[in-house]
Amino acid sequence: MDLAYTDEEQEFRARLRAWLAEALPELPARPSPDDWPGRRAYDAGWQRRLYDAGYAGLHWPVDAGGRGATPTQHLIFLEETERAGAPYVGANFVGLLHAGPTIAAEGTAAQRARWLPPVLRGDEVWCQGFSEPDAGSDLASLRTRAVRDGDDYVITGSKIWTSHAEVADWCELLVRTTPISEAAPKHRGISWLAMPMDAPGVTVRPLRTLAGSTEFAEMFLDEVRVPVANRVGAENDGWRVTMVTLSFERGTAFVGEVVACRRTLGELARTAKANGRWDDPVLRRRLGRLYGEFGALWRLTQWNVSESEGTGGVPGTGGSVFKLAYSHARQELYDTAAEVLGADSLALDGEWVLDRLSSLSYTIAAGTSQIQQNIVAERILGLPKGR
């Protein structure tokens, strides 16, 4: 098997590097972490640059507005943008990595035409309205109710951990269109809607995280009217559509972060050599093991992205294997960073400190590790469900 890059792929990499070298120095200064309108504008500006240069939506199909790039070109793009220190998707991540790919896979032609171009251009930002106070990992227990009234659904309920709700234009929203008491099993009564965030009755209250940021929010819905035309998939078929969303969230949404973690690992080794902690053989062994783990995760990433091409661009259950392994590897990476930094790891303005606090959420976000273990056991290994 020839694993070498083709001439076309090498040319793609060279062209991308040249563009990044020209584009990145022209970017404005990054806004303050607490300036969410500024962060949205910054992220949207970068997305527009990608769009104008032909690099937006590389992995999206052409009929969804994407570029139809090969999996290898997509991975080259992730490698080169991360290594160059280019901005991440930021406030655009739900639209670009979750809602957009879901609509591309499950939406009608009219829905794709309406919602996907603004996402790719950076004109519209999406948030995710899945979790509820009493339905976290057990997502099928959600109770936010949508009652059909003519051409609209009237929605009442609440959501929590709604990512970037304070600056979003749209929300990928899960609602119950059949009462939980009447749905058997309960996941059959759920529908997937695109809700405009400026609709009357939507209230957003930001939540402050352990790291002091406010990228999450509570969202309260008081008789919010959403057109039935905004439903993606059939009524009560939202659970299946949601599995598509979650497959993107777990399977490909983190791939750029793997490259970032590998770069951080190299920086940690250099820092340890500079401050004398490299002399600790236990630390060296831990760094070496992490190097191997993230190398394996990158290979798994390549496999998942390639596999998704055979399923219409939708990642398979291998995404749960990746998400489970990546969450724990990331936490260990930043625990190791604390060992390298010593007392400096207690300073919130220190390097890698906020990343360490953020890493604590990764075994919960996008499905807890316990949920991922169940998926791997039942859907990949074929083990029986617990009783």
- Catalytic position from the list 79, 124, 166, 249: 249
Q: How many Cα atoms occupy the beta-carbon half-sphere of 208 within 13 Å? A: 2
Cα separation, 330 vs 82, in Å, equals 16
> Count of residues for the chain?
387
* H or E segment to which residue 249 belongs: helix 238-251
Q: Are 360 and 211 within 8 A, CB to CB?
A: no
Say if residue 71 is preceded by a cis peptide, omega within 30 of 0: no
Nearest to 161 by CA among 97, 237, 208, 218: 218
Q: Are 189 and 181 within 8 A, CB to CB?
A: no
Q: Are 327 and 376 within 8 A, CB to CB?
A: no
Specify burial of residue 281 (Cβ count, 10 A radius: 0-12, 13-18, 19+): exposed
Cα separation, 57 vs 41, in Å, equals 19
User: Which is it for the CA torsion 290, 294, 296, 297, positive or negative?
Assistant: positive
The verdict on whether 249 is a catalytic residue reads yes
Nearest to 338 by CA among 324, 326, 350: 350
- Three-class SS state of 131: coil
Catalytic residue IDs:
249
